[in-house]
Structure 1
Amino acid sequence: MATKTCLQRIASFMLMAMLCIGIAKADGTVKGRILDQNHRPVEFATAALINAKTKLPIKGSESNSTGDFVIDKVHEGTYILSVTMVGYKKFETEQFAFNGKKDVQRDVVLEENTQMLKEATVVAKRKFIEQQADKMVINPEASITTASENVLDILKKTPGVTVDNNNNISLKGKEGVKVMIDDKPTYVSADQLATLLKGMQGKDIERIEVIENPSSRYDAEGNSGIINIKTKHNKRTGFNGSFYTGGGYSGKFGENVGLDLNMNFGKLNVYGNYSFNGWSGWNTMDAVRNYVTGPYVGAVQQIYNRSDYNGNGHNYKIGSDYYVAKNQVISFMVRGSDGHSNGKTNSVTSFFDNTMKLDSALHTKSGENEHWSNITFNGNYKWDIDSTGTSLTFDADYARFKYHSSTDQHGNYVDGNGNDMNINSTILGYQPRIINIFTAKTDYVHPIGKKFSIEGGLKTSFVKTNSQSEFTVDDPTNVVWNTGLKPYDQFIYTENINAAYVSARGQFGKTSVQLGLRVENTNSKGDSKSMNRVDTKHYTDLFPSLFIKRDLNENNQLGLTYSYRIGRPSYQILNPFMWLLDQFTYNQGNPFIRPQFTHSLGLNYTYKSKFITSIGMNRTNDLFTDVIKQNDITKVMYQTKDNLSKSIDLNASQTVQLDVTKWWHFNASAIVMYKSVTSNDATADKFKRWSYNANTTQSFTLPCDISMELAGRYRSKQLWGNFTIYEQYSVDLGVQKSLFNKKGTLKVSVDDIFNTNKGGGFAKYGNVDFNVDNHWDSRGVNVSFTYRFGKDSFKTRANRSTASSEEQSRSGK
């Protein structure tokens, strides 16, 4: 549908250019509403006033999302109202006299032109990457291959975006980026988000918005920026859908399948989709820890483990829209996901003395079973108050997230000669978690003429998490109990956030300005049963934003962005529980972590939409990130989140997109970054590093409806808090063939052709000297098939924003 939308816009803009020859003086207004045969609004239709005598166009307007159009400053005279829209028959009224003083209302019903729809073969000309005033936009259908790819793969090609082997997504080197779908939260952990994005196809995506400095309309949460995935707004009536299936092999098999169905009954729309993704794989970790302080100076600990895992996930959404009037709609939606994952890990932790003689080793076998399910109920009401764009929206969510994991771990010690020391340990654990979220919000938009508008809104949210932990331990060495692990623990966290915002837009010649301000009041309470401690926080903050765009001329644009934002820790980070790798290595939450605050400033320049240059700076206070801590006496090492002091991020990027020939399209981007992190730890005062990323995508159109894409990406060493991660690079290749009159697409691709995509990193500060190398099944072959059926599209509100955007994004495990 991106093709049709583009065609509609091109046709409208061409006619509008003819109509805007100019009128010296006018006194009245001709307005109305354009509907289809099912009395649904028709967007992007062109309404033109034709001189009844000369038959020449005088002036015109384009209909908005509610079908309304306004032609103002109209002279006295005799006119014909002409309405045109791609896919519909041309409509013309009888000629009518206009006295120039009293407004005239003309409502129009368009008749579908089925023959034209069959013959239309115009190809969209949108660029794959577009720079707008407040964001960068990725248009998947502008690429010959991304329409058949899943969204996770598309993100990997997006300038500035990095996806690591643990499915963590960062933006220009900044961790904690918030991923949203249609302005709504993803409500899942990193692994579950990857499963969800793999189940979404590029053909169903209208655009991907990369927002480094979000406006005041968005929740202030997300100091590293937002990636907002906007699914398509379909416009045609009737029944349609699509089906896809695929599989992959990278040493183990995986599979996916999905179905998308839509139906319009006039005033009532019903839609739904379902996707299934099954996976399996492996990864390994080689780690070395050097003791540089304490009684074991010079000693070395080596850790090797291999994990084999499998699982599957189900995602679903069903909803309806009912138009109680032509300008009022009530919508309901239910969406959710359910899945499980199983893993088995074999680990060996070896201890060497300061002469590198093996002292002893711990052999551990462990298994983990995870299950998650979540469901969100949403209600929405929208009232388009008048034809100028004034609107009022109410939205409410109730979401419930459930997760539990069970683990079993069995270890035994051997001496330096490999003899069993008859010291065996068993750890059995069970950790359930329930999160309940209720949110409600309202938004009001009020245009002032054609060049100005104001909007404002209110929002409130209530969150409660209840996490429990139960462990049964048989450990004759007491190493496990020395870590502070509790046989039973409970952590209850409640949070209430109240927010209000106002935003104003204005057009001053070639310069557009948007100014916003958001206020958020936060009230939270954390109750740790094992610590016998209750922590409450109350704080109110203001979050301003500013966006300026200047069109220097037709080919050159400048943009300036600024925002002040907050980064709140996820509910899981606040949970003080422990997750054991073995008796000497674990992860732990931190209930005392503070939110971080970021000033973000950006400047961008665009030339002919082919060259996009940007520079940016972020300053974050109270930065929280992963840190590694260790006890030199017990030899225990653990990873947690903690507040450092501050960080400064500088970046400069260049994006290029060119049509080298008619059959060869070239995309490339390069980013240079500098990061400085100041720590509160006196033994690790400051970390700083220059780094850079680069990626390129070469797309080739071949005969017989075949296309090919070659993609490569490189990331240098980067600073991640006080941890330095190693460089990564890989090359992918894909070939696809259109089938069944271009309704079907068959694609074969190879990820990481040369098997170079590996990871790891190191940390050296204070008493920490740690190095790790990671390997995983990065090289694989994938086959997928997609088929579209029914009419091309029709309009639903399935991709509307709901209230719980921030809260759900913080609920992942």
Structure 2
Amino acid sequence: MIQKKGFEAKTLDKAEDPLLIELKPEAASISEVVIRSSARNIRLNDGNMVMSVSGNKDFKTSANLFEVLRKTPGVTVDQEGGIFIGGRIAPAVFIDGKPITMSSQELQAYLRSLSPEMVESIEVNTNPSSKYDAEFKGIIDIRLKRNGNLGWKGNYNGNAYFNKFTYRENALNLSYNTEKIAYSLQTSYNNGISTYRYNALQKLANTNVMRTSTYQEDEGKVYNIQAGADFRINDKNRLGVGLRGSFRNIDRTRSGSLYTVNKDESQLVFNTESDNPTDYSQQNYGIVADYSFQNKGFKLNFLGNYLSVKNMQTDDFINRDKPTSQLLSYWKSDLVNKIDIQTAQIDISQKINNADFEAGIKYSHSNTNNNIRYDTLSVNNSFVFDPGRSNRFSYREKIGAGYISYRQKLGKLLINSGLRIENTESVSNAITNDSIVSRNYLKWLPSAGATYTFNKSNELSLSYSRKMTRPVFSQLNPFRFYFSPLNYWIGNPYLQPSLTSQIKLTYRYKNWVTNFTVGKEKDVMVRYPLYNPVTNVLEYLGTNLPYRKFASIETSFPVRITKWWNMTNQISGYYNDEFRPYLNEVFALKVYNYELRTNQVFSLPKGYTVNLFAQYESKTGNSLYIIKPRYTVDLSVQKSWFNNTLNTKISYNNIFDSYDQRLEFRHKQIMDNRFTHWWDSSRLIVSVGYSFGSSKYQVRETQKTEEENRTR
């Protein structure tokens, strides 16, 4: 007998051919061969940084994708869950190359439901080309790990946050794949209490000193569900359908005080207290459908989105004299806000040799209606309609867009260019004030770029783009949103869109990436304070500034200290020069600031991973305000169990409770005001993730876009 590894050979009977040898599979044969290349955590895609997430040690201790984004170079997540890149650009969020139409609250809940193990990579695009919507000044593209196996898989991820109160997050993700259809289901339920504090010190025009103090508790419940199916019709056609719903209820209790004394603080002038209980609910429904056809070098994509959001909120504003408990004023509000958004876009591309030609059209329609009613307690102890505060406002917007783009590889040089045209029709209707503002405008938005690859370790990219930012509904709506009885902001229906032109230069050496950006924005949309010295009311109003010039430089680089100690450091510098007319004066200050980050990972024996993350932000601000320095330090530890099916993490974020935001008005001759925002971001976090399923066999991927292939 002749035997080789994996097979058993035997000679046949003499009646058969004596030279014929049969190979018979052995029971202990090799069932699977897995080839893995060495990981490269950072690379460039058309000058944009792409960061690997799953399997990246820098993110092993992160509780969810929100925690991952906080540690991603070039990305900032504030205490309220706002995501920013390139300084203070609020990016659009894409999933697998497609924009997702979600409300900000729904998006936050969705990102918190994703564990790092579920995400393949994150691409940070701070200078999108003309292919993308004009309003997308930045994009974060999240590529999910594809379950390419037949059968079903599941993942549970649970997080508990401990501060003064507890907040809990629970997410369940299920997928089931057949040869033709891939099904997915995602559900999450979050509940608990979060807190917020606001404190202000203001020297009034009559030389009195007023201290404002506000404390807020939000007890919330959030339900989310998403279901989808991806149909592989054949090798050329694919169809996807998704449905989702999000439901949020928040019971808010807000209490505050206005404590006012004379100039030398020797005599009490008045001391009032306020209570503002709020009942808030939100209902979101969304539908998405996408279809793709691919044949050789030609590809067609269709994407349709529908989003319906309904917000409902009731408030009570109760103000009393604190020493005597005498009721000073009492009013109620009842808000109903409805938003409907429909979008449809078609993109086609054709590859000819080393060149790619692409074109597309998009249409979007949004309709927002807002009705807020105020009732005030009258002298006869009954509530009467308050027309001075009540408001009905609607906003309709239609956008038609088209683009063409060209991309070609010339040896080591990759060039691209594009042109986008967007026409906007909008109608702002302040029904209560009988005021209608209609607009119809067309904008041409070019882009261009080039990337030169010296070798596998060195890349240089240069890009240019022109972008347009339209005012959102909250900036246009002329109704009062109260922070305290003497402090509120009001929208401006006459705001103009802003235009931004910028140039970005990017260089990568291995995992060391440096970006330099410079640009100018016209008709900048900002809020400004207006103080009334008679009533002591402080309003925040919206306006357009003539222009601002800006620049930034960001560099991130990994350092390997030992086999068990790795760190990634980031240094960012920002420059802002805004021309701001304000109260018959012009303020034009040049503001410089910087940020430092370090993310240190320690791989310890027995599979433990320890992560230390620290961030420092220097003094910054704008022409009117100074923002004081702040810093934060996070410490976390991670351990996997049972062949990596169970993943446990413990984190302590903002250990020193040092990440509050402190602002001071620069020009004391106008207003002497300083205030602090504090959120309960100093938290102990306990996370548990569990993966399960029965997938065994690999599904054949019938089609991949070039972008998908680049992110593998």
What's the TM-score once normalised by structure 1's chain length? Answer: 0.78
| C-alpha distance in 2 between matches for 1:794 and 1:288 | 64
Indicate which of 163, 166, 184 corresponds to 2:80: 166
Equivalent residue for 1:238?
151
Following TM superposition, the consecutive aligned residue runs of length 4 or more in structure 1 with deviations greater than 4 angstroms are: 114-119, 121-124, 792-797
| C-alpha distance in 1 between matches for 2:646 and 2:32 | 17
Equivalent residue for 1:605?
507
Indicate which of 490, 493, 498 corresponds to 1:591: 493
Equivalent residue for 1:614?
515
CA-CA distance at 1:118 after TM superposition: 5.8
Query: Secondary structure at 1:302's aligned position in 2?
Result: strand
Indicate which of 229, 240, 250 corresponds to 1:331: 240
Indicate which of 155, 161, 184 corresponds to 2:99: 184
Spell out the pairing of 1:719-734 with structure 2 (5 A cutoff).
719=621, 722-734=624-636
Query: Secondary structure at 2:276's aligned position in 1?
Result: strand
Indicate which of 340, 355, 370 corresponds to 1:467: 370
| C-alpha distance in 2 between matches for 1:178 and 1:762 | 31
Query: Secondary structure at 1:251's aligned position in 2?
Result: coil
Indicate which of 574, 577, 586 corresponds to 1:676: 577
| C-alpha distance in 2 between matches for 1:568 and 1:437 | 15
User: Does 1:409 pair with 2:323?
Assistant: no
Q: Deviations over 1:357-377 (max 9, x none)?
A: 321122101111211111111
Query: Secondary structure at 1:622's aligned position in 2?
Result: strand
Cα 1:124–1:788 change in 2 (3 A) is farther
CA-CA distance at 1:179 after TM superposition: 3.4
Query: Secondary structure at 1:153's aligned position in 2?
Result: helix
- Please tell me whether the aligned partners of residues 312 and 337 of structure 2 are also in contact (alpha carbons under 8 angstroms): yes
User: Does 1:627 pair with 2:559?
Assistant: no
| C-alpha distance in 2 between matches for 1:742 and 1:693 | 36
| C-alpha distance in 1 between matches for 2:186 and 2:566 | 33
Cα 1:142–1:265 change in 2 (3 A) is closer
CA-CA distance at 1:121 after TM superposition: 8.1
Q: Once structures 1 and 2 are overlaid, which stretch shifts more, 735-744 or 574-583?
A: 574-583
Equivalent residue for 2:281?
371
| C-alpha distance in 1 between matches for 2:699 and 2:397 | 36
Equivalent residue for 2:43?
130
**Residue identity in the other structure for 2:167:** G
User: Does 1:265 pair with 2:178?
Assistant: yes
**Residue identity in the other structure for 1:395:** L
Query: Secondary structure at 2:397's aligned position in 1?
Result: strand
Equivalent residue for 1:685?
587
Equivalent residue for 2:195?
282
User: Does 1:340 pair with 2:254?
Assistant: no
| C-alpha distance in 2 between matches for 1:602 and 1:794 | 41
Q: Deviations over 1:409-453 (max 9, x none)?
A: 211125xxx345x3421111111111111111100010011x111
CA-CA distance at 1:323 after TM superposition: 2.7
CA-CA distance at 1:709 after TM superposition: 0.9
Equivalent residue for 2:304?
396
- Please tell me whether the aligned partners of residues 215 and 546 of structure 1 are also in contact (alpha carbons under 8 angstroms): yes
- Please tell me whether the aligned partners of residues 578 and 622 of structure 2 are also in contact (alpha carbons under 8 angstroms): no
- Please tell me whether the aligned partners of residues 161 and 170 of structure 1 are also in contact (alpha carbons under 8 angstroms): yes
- Report % sequence identity: 25
Spell out the pairing of 1:520-539 with structure 2 (5 A cutoff).
520-539=422-441
| C-alpha distance in 2 between matches for 1:794 and 1:155 | 31
Indicate which of 96, 115, 118 corresponds to 1:201: 115
Cα 1:122–1:701 change in 2 (3 A) is farther
Equivalent residue for 1:10?
none
User: Does 1:760 pair with 2:662?
Assistant: yes
Cα 1:169–1:398 change in 2 (3 A) is closer
**Residue identity in the other structure for 1:761:** L
CA-CA distance at 1:796 after TM superposition: 12
- Please tell me whether the aligned partners of residues 424 and 475 of structure 1 are also in contact (alpha carbons under 8 angstroms): no
Equivalent residue for 2:602?
700
Structure 2, unaligned runs of 5 or more: 1-27, 706-712
User: Does 1:789 pair with 2:692?
Assistant: yes
- Please tell me whether the aligned partners of residues 424 and 440 of structure 2 are also in contact (alpha carbons under 8 angstroms): yes
Cα 1:117–1:546 change in 2 (3 A) is farther
| C-alpha distance in 1 between matches for 2:152 and 2:308 | 32
Equivalent residue for 2:348?
444
| C-alpha distance in 2 between matches for 1:196 and 1:264 | 22
Cα 1:743–1:597 change in 2 (3 A) is same
CA-CA distance at 1:490 after TM superposition: 0.9
Equivalent residue for 2:710?
none
Query: Secondary structure at 2:406's aligned position in 1?
Result: strand
Structure 1, unaligned runs of 5 or more: 1-113, 802-813
CA-CA distance at 1:720 after TM superposition: 5.3
- Please tell me whether the aligned partners of residues 287 and 304 of structure 1 are also in contact (alpha carbons under 8 angstroms): yes
- Please tell me whether the aligned partners of residues 606 and 613 of structure 1 are also in contact (alpha carbons under 8 angstroms): yes
**Residue identity in the other structure for 1:369:** D
**Residue identity in the other structure for 2:530:** K
Query: Secondary structure at 2:666's aligned position in 1?
Result: strand
- Please tell me whether the aligned partners of residues 397 and 424 of structure 2 are also in contact (alpha carbons under 8 angstroms): yes
Cα 1:177–1:729 change in 2 (3 A) is same
CA-CA distance at 1:792 after TM superposition: 7.5
User: Does 1:513 pair with 2:427?
Assistant: no
Q: Deviations over 1:633-692 (max 9, x none)?
A: 221112233212211111112211133322222101000111111113233422331100
CA-CA distance at 1:707 after TM superposition: 1.1
Aligned length in residues: 668
Equivalent residue for 1:105?
none
Query: Secondary structure at 1:197's aligned position in 2?
Result: helix
| C-alpha distance in 1 between matches for 2:503 and 2:627 | 26
Q: Once structures 1 and 2 are overlaid, which stretch shifts more, 399-408 or 758-767?
A: 758-767
| C-alpha distance in 1 between matches for 2:289 and 2:153 | 24
- Please tell me whether the aligned partners of residues 214 and 254 of structure 2 are also in contact (alpha carbons under 8 angstroms): yes
Cα 1:181–1:628 change in 2 (3 A) is farther
Cα 1:170–1:323 change in 2 (3 A) is closer
| C-alpha distance in 1 between matches for 2:248 and 2:30 | 45
CA-CA distance at 1:530 after TM superposition: 1.8
**Residue identity in the other structure for 1:383:** F
Cα 1:241–1:286 change in 2 (3 A) is same
CA-CA distance at 1:794 after TM superposition: 7.2
| C-alpha distance in 2 between matches for 1:255 and 1:428 | 32
Query: Secondary structure at 2:69's aligned position in 1?
Result: helix
- Please tell me whether the aligned partners of residues 431 and 470 of structure 1 are also in contact (alpha carbons under 8 angstroms): yes
Spell out the pairing of 1:60-209 with structure 2 (5 A cutoff).
120=34, 122=36, 125-127=39-41, 129-144=42-57, 146-147=59-60, 149-182=63-96, 183-185=98-100, 187-189=102-104, 191-209=105-123
| C-alpha distance in 1 between matches for 2:280 and 2:453 | 53
- Please tell me whether the aligned partners of residues 625 and 721 of structure 1 are also in contact (alpha carbons under 8 angstroms): no
Q: Deviations over 1:435-480 (max 9, x none)?
A: 111111100010011x11111101111111111001111277xxx9
Equivalent residue for 1:308?
217
Query: Secondary structure at 1:152's aligned position in 2?
Result: helix
CA-CA distance at 1:616 after TM superposition: 0.9
Equivalent residue for 1:380?
290
Equivalent residue for 2:390?
488
User: Does 1:215 pair with 2:215?
Assistant: no
- Please tell me whether the aligned partners of residues 199 and 277 of structure 1 are also in contact (alpha carbons under 8 angstroms): no
Query: Secondary structure at 1:203's aligned position in 2?
Result: helix
Cα 1:739–1:116 change in 2 (3 A) is farther
Cα 1:452–1:376 change in 2 (3 A) is same
CA-CA distance at 1:290 after TM superposition: 2.5
What's the TM-score once normalised by structure 2's chain length? Answer: 0.89
**Residue identity in the other structure for 1:441:** Q
| C-alpha distance in 2 between matches for 1:503 and 1:793 | 39
More strand by share: 2
**Residue identity in the other structure for 1:318:** A
Equivalent residue for 1:53?
none
Q: Once structures 1 and 2 are overlaid, which stretch shifts more, 320-329 or 398-407?
A: 320-329
| C-alpha distance in 2 between matches for 1:204 and 1:252 | 29
Query: Secondary structure at 2:67's aligned position in 1?
Result: helix
User: Does 1:228 pair with 2:159?
Assistant: no
